[in-house]
Structure 1
């Protein structure tokens, strides 16, 4: 147990280091880019002329896909006028500030970041207040309550989950699947429900499995639906958003803590059979383990769902990167990049199910360990 907790601490430390270290890197990238732009401006002001050649921005494409946005961006095309046009689905923008009050309008008013509206503009997917000359007004605090694509897609996933469960419940009430064989979506989801019940809830929760099964099923299907939606081109990677996984982890943490008993806390603060000089260290490690367990759930789901999407986008980006070097290289890279992309995409379909199962199963394991020894220690179920 102590060894496993130490592993959790190492993973958590590395994950925190990665998260906080990535922010300065992004800031440095933006600063460098701004510095290059300023340098070009000074060169042109001094009378020099340098033709601006825009290349393929792989980093922009990657972060534009995995980060949140105020619209569903589908694609871009070059019109007859030679200008780039975007095809996207705008979303509602809801802003509040003490100076301007409540503002409600469509994100299309920003024209993909090229325009200001009602004293606001969007920069790096963050909406800020601006002065009349277009400069940022830092004295105005803007509260962004907008329905971003992550929020909208999560609401859609919740609606789909509710519809599926209610329709299946209605089918069972009418006798389908009871007096006759289940059909359609009822037949598909019944397999998953039985799997969660027999492979997750019963082995880990003992005789209390019925109490926690509704929560485990809700968690499993909610993550699964969001994972599958995230594989559709043009949609958001909701489960790859750290805010989403943090909320799921906190909910699991509350359920775990609410399930603890005196036996659990007794082993935390007074480990039996341990020498006295070791107890202070072990108590600290075990107490930190209470918080590291949900943190491991958060990081595991977030990292796995982000990694797969980044790999797919990187493989596709290779076509454009080599194409800028040489058209023949771009065409030659295309079959290899597309082949690996299809392969990784198929793996991501498996990962969508696997990560939903792992999050649900670990949650059940942590809940079971919270009341283990209280009233079902050593209990074995045979189904």
Structure 2
């Protein structure tokens, strides 16, 4: 009974909210009586305001600086080095602040903002150059790699001194040891059996590298590295190479000559199996991680953007009122994203282990037998 009353109250609140919201919106689009519709929009000056699309794509796409927030019309953040090599000018190194966020040209180069991110172009159309700049995705990925290596080396040194072996683990060991044990016992051993020690370093590296980049991407103002398709493509290619070198003759025999299948069906089944081995499996790893990490960030930014959109279009009162809905939902999605950060690292590692196991075994009976060990 209490649940039904709560649902009814929610329906009533949202109904009143959207009815009140719709009136100013409809009134805004009514043309003046003395001026035809369309003519008013033609003569009205274009007003620059909050661009939710620019904010969303500015966050999920790569860039040449870290932008945290705006204060009194000025961007707060720090630029990154631009490194350009061309045969005509040689090597040019300068900070991205010289571009003044795309409003200025420096040394014959300018920064152009496109639908899919930022791009450096030359004022000379005949100049060919190579952009070797340290973008925010690259800088953050290197930072995550340095921190990951430091953590794992410090843990390994502690184990080498006997801490966590003859005594209970402490500090970082206490946090990471259950995760390492989980990947070993729930991912590597069930799928790879006796060969799990051989592949465990690779699986742990993939898991922690994705996880730490996922966590870093949740920090406000940081880059969404795992939401970049180039990052996930490289991870997918590396996983595919490991799978390829782990395969055996029995695996490829099942692909090119499926046993127990009529000859006419083989002409259809062989291309499908080959496509699955070389494209669909790596593609599943690539697209799953990319799509999930991008989707969560877009939802969070959209919820926050509602406050600014309502403030600009409907007034400050509606903007403040929208925080009652936007902020709680943003916090909820943010905690969901923390769970997704761990979950996507686990899924990528698990699928990689499964694909390696399939490449090594080649038949279901042997794979099931190995899973029981």
- With the shorter chain as reference, the TM-score category is 0.7 to 0.9
Identify the match of residue 155 of structure 1 among 132, 137, 142: 142
Matched pairs, number: 326
Shift of 1:264: 0.2
Provide structure 2 residue ranges, at least 5 long, that are not aligned to the other structure.
Answer: 1-41
1:379 lines up with 2:369 in the alignment = yes
Query: Residues 142 and 373 from structure 1, CA distance in 2 versus in 1: closer, same or farther, beyond 3 angstroms?
Result: closer
1:296 lines up with 2:255 in the alignment = no
Q: Is the 8 A contact 2:358 2:367 kept in 1?
A: no
Whole-angstrom distance in 1 between the partners of 2:43 and 2:266: 71
Q: Which position in structure 2 is the counterpart of 1:340? A: 329
Q: Which has the larger radius of gyration?
A: 2
Question: What SS class does the counterpart of residue 101 from structure 2 fall into?
Answer: coil
1:61 lines up with 2:61 in the alignment = no
Q: Which position in structure 2 is the counterpart of 1:174? A: 161
Question: What SS class does the counterpart of residue 154 from structure 1 fall into?
Answer: helix
Whole-angstrom distance in 1 between the partners of 2:51 and 2:194: 55
Shift of 1:313: 0.3
Shift of 1:91: 0.6
Identify the match of residue 91 of structure 1 among 58, 80, 103: 80
1:227 lines up with 2:227 in the alignment = no
Whole-angstrom distance in 2 between the partners of 1:372 and 1:106: 52
Whole-angstrom distance in 1 between the partners of 2:120 and 2:371: 55
1:357 lines up with 2:337 in the alignment = no
Whole-angstrom distance in 2 between the partners of 1:377 and 1:204: 8
Q: Is the 8 A contact 2:56 2:302 kept in 1?
A: yes
1:319 lines up with 2:313 in the alignment = no
1:212 lines up with 2:196 in the alignment = no
Q: Deviations over 1:1-53 (max 9, x none)?
A: xxxxxxxxxxxxxxxxxxxxxxxxxxxxxxxxxxxxxxxxxxxxxxx975441
Shift of 1:160: 0.7
Shift of 1:146: 0.2
Identify the match of residue 127 of structure 1 among 120, 128, 132: 120
Question: What SS class does the counterpart of residue 162 from structure 2 fall into?
Answer: coil
Question: What SS class does the counterpart of residue 111 from structure 2 fall into?
Answer: strand
Q: Which position in structure 1 is the counterpart of 2:130? A: 143
State the TM-score, normalizing by the size of structure 2. 0.85
Whole-angstrom distance in 1 between the partners of 2:162 and 2:259: 53
Q: Which runs of 4+ in 1 moved over 2 A?
A: 48-52, 373-383
Considering only aligned residues, what root-mean-square deviation do their CA atoms show, in Å?
Answer: 1.7
Provide structure 1 residue ranges, at least 5 long, that are not aligned to the other structure.
Answer: 1-47, 79-83, 131-136
Question: What SS class does the counterpart of residue 169 from structure 1 fall into?
Answer: helix
Q: Is the 8 A contact 1:95 1:143 kept in 2?
A: yes
1:269 lines up with 2:271 in the alignment = no
Q: Deviations over 1:140-181 (max 9, x none)?
A: 123110000000000001001100110000000111110100
1:306 lines up with 2:271 in the alignment = no
Q: Is the 8 A contact 2:144 2:213 kept in 1?
A: yes
Whole-angstrom distance in 2 between the partners of 1:321 and 1:213: 49
Q: Deviations over 1:243-290 (max 9, x none)?
A: 000000000000000000011011001111111111110111100001
